[in-house]
Structures are given as C-alpha cells and as structure tokens.
Amino acid sequence: MTPRHEKETIALISHTQAKTFSPPLGLLCLSTVLERQGYHTEILDLAVAHSSSESAFWEGVRRKKYLWIGITALTPSIPWVGEWVGQIRNINPDVPVLLGGVHASALPEQSLRELGVDAVCVGGGEEAVLWFSQWVAQGRRDYWEIVGIAALDDKGAFHFNADRYSSHPRPLPVRPNWSKIRLKDYQHLPPQQYVRRKPCVAPIYTTKGCPFRCTFCAVPRFSGSSLIHRDPVDVAQEIEDLVADQGVEEIHIVDDNFNYDLAYAKRVLQELALRKLPIVWKTPNGIWLHAYDEEWLSLLKQTGCYQVGFGIESGAPHILRAVKKPVKLDKVAPILQIYKNNGISTFGYFILGMPGEDRHTVAQTIRFGCGLPLDHIHVSLFTPYPGSPLYDQMAAAGNAPKSWDQYYHYLGGEGCDLTARELRSMMRRFYVRFYSNPRRALNLLQDIRRSGVRSFLTIVQHYFFSRKETPH
C-alpha cells in the first residue's frame, strides 16, 4: 500500500435506531487507519449531531468535498440508509457511497440492490477502506477486486470474492480515533443497558469474535469464531488517555466475550491495575459464565469493576440446547454468587419468544431468572437478526419479518406458541416479579439515583408503554 500524503476528505456517517446510544467505535477505527494514510475524515453521528453539522455535511456533498462517503448501520437503521443515499444521489450522483456494518456484511447483495450504495464492505473495514480510497482516486469502479468489498457491475451482476475474503487474515483491530468526537456529547443520552455510576462513560473494545455458535446471534459469522486481540498495553493506554483528555470516569467493555480468553483478559486488567486510574467499569454485554478464577476476581476489584453481565437467555434446558447456548443451568446460581461474594453486582440477559417456546418455557425462564442471585435483568424479545443462523432459517422459509424497521423488537420465533401481546405481557411480568424483591428494588433505586432518572424513564417507557410490536 503506497502511503498518501495528499489530504482528501472522507465523510463517515452513523445512524442509531435505538433507545440506547454509544459512540460509533467502528467508524472511529476506520478514521484511525485513514488518517494514518494522510486522508482527512469527518464523523457525522446523527445520534448527537447538531443541525449545523448536518447542514455542513449536505453543503459538503453539494460542493463535491468528499472523496467518498461511508455509512454504518445495523438492521433497524436500514430504511434510513435508503433515504439518505437517495438524498445524496439527488445532490451529487457521482460521489461513491460505501456501506459497512453487520447488516450489510450479512446481506451484501440485497443491500446493494435495495439501497443503491456503490459498494458494501463485508466484515472489519480497516484494510478495505484504504484500498477503496485508492480505487476511487483512480476512478476505478471494479470495487469487487478489493478483498472484503462487494459491488454490482454495469450490467447489475453481483460480485464478491468470497474465497479470497475467507482465506485473507482478518484486519488487525486498532485504537479508535477519539479525537473525532466529544464524549461529553453522549452523556445526556441513555447509555448501553442504562446502568452507570459516573457521569462520563466511554465504550472500549479489546477483542473481536466469539467461539460459540448461538443460533440467534450474528457475532460468530460477522466477527469470526476465533478471537482477535488488541495489545493489552494499548488498551490500558487508551483508557489512560481518555481519562486525561476527555475526563472519562467509567468504562464499558463492549467485547462479545471479554473473558473467554481468561489469560488475555487478565493481562488487560493487570495493565490497568498498574496505572491505578480513577475509574469504575462494567461489561454491558455478557461475559463467559464458566471462565473465572481467584486472580480474575481479585483483578476485577483492584481495577474498579462494579458489575458484570451474563447471557443466560433461558431457564429451559431444551430451548438452550436448541439455540446452542452453552450455559450449564445448574452452575449459574453458584457462579453468580461467587461474583456477588466478591462485591461485584450481577446483570442477567434473557430472551423470550425463541423458536419452540411456549407459555411453559417462558414461565420456567421467569421462575429461574427471579430465583438467581442477580441484581438486574434485561429481557429482550427474540428477533432473527441478519447474520444469525436463525435469520437464514426463517428467511429461507419465508417467515422472517419483511420490513427492516420491524427488527428493533420482532416478537416471537418460528414455532413459538405465543402471540406478540402475550410475550410483551410476560416480559413485563418478568420485570415486575424480579424487581418486587425489596433488596433488588432498593438496588434499582440506588442505580436510578446514580444513572440519572432520564435513563430509567426511557426504559420504563420502552418496556411498559411502547406499542411498537409486530403482529404475530
């Protein structure tokens, strides 16, 4: 790759169709690699953008300022992508638009045909964006020649070299370019999973990938089924810099399975412990329940961890087996108790309405969840996200939801015996029963005080009063 020195501007846009928000880590990583090569990048995150930055972007499109425009989107944001690409084309039909992220990676051909983007990036974009920039600068349109990029030719034929892509090593993870955003702009928005203890939070990722194969999850296919790791020293240094530069006091480690490689996770924490930073941290996603030891537990305390999450998903053994979730139900309570004995608060994630569920299995999950030594729960309703094996299965049978905005909370998997209304009401019952325990209610009140009332009002509105549901 020839380094470029000429400054050229690339706009990177993020849209979040969610009730919780987090800075666009993926775009910040692309900004790191592009700026290293001499390009200039502008990030427009519509979750926090002021109208002036949005107008500046449209003005840039009009003035043909951008070499190309990159967009990141998860499935619920796909209808929005179509609208924006249409508007960009109306103003400047020539600027290439590249779409990346989990949805486009799972359905590259469909995304190209539906959304009118010029190309789609499959998987991590750290290498592909550098080649794409060169292709655009040279006026080449055969983007499919780049590893990890799919595109249509002039005749509308789809091209993606899947063999080259799967035999190519995954791009190495990099540190996000934090200088491109102000973390304080995100702090008034509800954070991921609502609970936080300090006013200034930053998400951090240390690994990508997961070796398990839960069939409702898009991660193994998208991020890989082996882990790729960042350098633990760089992760700790990134956190130290965020504390110094942006006043960060709390870290959310967003890895899919932070402690799967326990030795690596401990190295990250050892590096953090050496720095004695004034931070607290938690894992807003599930960590691997069965990987822990004394040293790990002690490092959690030393480094300021106050809460860990676990994806338990169901209390019905045959449902867990059917979706290939490798949780041993008899071990859950004793392991959660070990964390609690070490002063770490526990958060459990559950999914209702998975394929094959009925009233009995959902009741079993509610009973099981309420009986566990958990301080908090998060209950989702099953959604077959593109990238997951269950999406493929339901789409092949013509049973996947037809419109992408239904994917925010689709209710009920194939062969699930319950209606949307019933599932939503069982989810509310789960929350009410769980938090009617006085100790948990007290914990919840303390967390409301620490996290800010607004975050909690959002979750209450969303789970108890939202009428957005898909007829089933």
Residue 97 or 277: which CB sits closer to ligand B12?
A: 97
Query: Which of 256, 271, 357, 447 touches ligand SF4 (CB under 6 A)?
Result: 256
Query: Which of 96, 100, 232, 309 touches ligand B12 (CB under 6 A)?
Result: 100
Q: CA-CA distance, 388 to 404, in Å (whole number)? A: 15
- Per DSSP, 195 falls in state -
Strands (E), 268-314: 280-287, 305-313
Smallest separation (angstroms) from ligand SF4 to the CB of 275: 28
Proportion of the chain in helix, strand, coil states, percent, rounded to 5: 45, 15, 40
- Helix ranges (DSSP H) in 247-358: 262-275, 294-302, 317-322, 329-341
Q: Does 426 bind ligand SF4 (CB under 6 A)?
A: no
Query: Which of 8, 10, 17, 355 touches ligand B12 (CB under 6 A)?
Result: 17
Which range binds ligand SF4 by CB under 6 A, 51-59, 126-134, 211-219, 332-340? 211-219
Pattern 254-293, ligand B12, x by CB under 6 A: x-x----------------------------x--------
Residue 136 or 219: which CB sits closer to ligand SF4?
A: 219
Beta strands 9-14 and 66-72, pairing class: parallel
Q: Which of residues 47-76 bind ligand B12 (CB under 6 A)?
A: 70-72, 74-76
Q: Which amino acid is at 15?
A: H
Return the sign of the alpha-carbon dihedral for residues 192, 375, 288, 296. positive
Q: Does 98 bind ligand B12 (CB under 6 A)?
A: yes
Cross-strand pairs, 12: 43, 70
Smallest separation (angstroms) from ligand SF4 to the CB of 214: 3
Q: Does 192 bind ligand B12 (CB under 6 A)?
A: yes
435 binds, among ligand SF4, ligand B12, none (CB under 5 to 8 A by kind): none
Cβ(394)–Cβ(384) under 8 Å?
Answer: yes
Q: Which of residues 275-294 bind ligand SF4 (CB under 6 A)?
A: 286
Q: CA-CA distance, 94 to 41, in Å (whole number)? A: 19
From first CA to last CA, the distance across the chain in angstroms is 52
353 binds, among ligand SF4, ligand B12, none (CB under 5 to 8 A by kind): none
Q: List Cβ neighbours of 423 (8 Å cut-off, separation of 6 or more).
A: 352, 353, 362, 381, 411, 412, 416, 472
Q: CA-CA distance, 177 to 396, in Å (whole number)? A: 40
Taking each helix axis from N to C end, the angle separating 262-275 and 294-302, rounded to the nearest 10 degrees, works out to: 30
Q: Does 470 bind ligand B12 (CB under 6 A)?
A: no
Pattern 217-256, ligand B12, x by CB under 6 A: xxx---x------------------------------x-x
Residue 72 or 388: which CB sits closer to ligand SF4?
A: 388
User: Of 256, 265, 266, which Cα lies nearest the Cα of 286?
Assistant: 256
Helix (H) or strand (E) run with residue 56 in it: helix 51-62
Q: Does 369 bind ligand B12 (CB under 6 A)?
A: no
Say what the alpha-carbon torsion angle 420, 426, 429, 434 is, to the nearest 10 degrees.
Answer: -120
214 binds, among ligand SF4, ligand B12, none (CB under 5 to 8 A by kind): ligand SF4
Strands (E), 20-73: 40-45, 66-72
Q: Does 412 bind ligand B12 (CB under 6 A)?
A: no
Smallest separation (angstroms) from ligand SF4 to the CB of 254: 11
Q: Which amino acid is at 85?
A: V
How many residues bind ligand B12 (CB under 6 A)? The answer is 45
339 binds, among ligand B12, ligand SF4, none (CB under 5 to 8 A by kind): none
Query: Which of 100, 220, 304, 369 touches ligand SF4 (CB under 6 A)?
Result: 220
User: Of 31, 30, 87, which Cα lies nearest the Cα of 61?
Assistant: 87
242 binds, among ligand SF4, ligand B12, none (CB under 5 to 8 A by kind): none
Cross-strand pairs, 292: none
Please give the structure tokens belonging to residue 382: 């099953």
Pattern 298-327, ligand SF4, x by CB under 6 A: -------------x----------------
Q: Does 210 bind ligand SF4 (CB under 6 A)?
A: yes
Query: At 393, phi and psi to the nearest 5?
Result: -65, -45
| Maximal CA-CA distance, the chain | 66
Q: Does 121 bind ligand B12 (CB under 6 A)?
A: yes
Catalog residues that contact ligand B12 under the rule CB under 6 A: 14, 16-18, 20-22, 24-26, 29-30, 70-72, 74-77, 98, 100-103, 106, 121, 124-126, 128-129, 192, 205, 217-219, 223, 254, 256, 285, 385-387, 408-409
Catalog residues that contact ligand SF4 under the rule CB under 6 A: 210, 212-214, 217, 219-220, 256-257, 286, 311
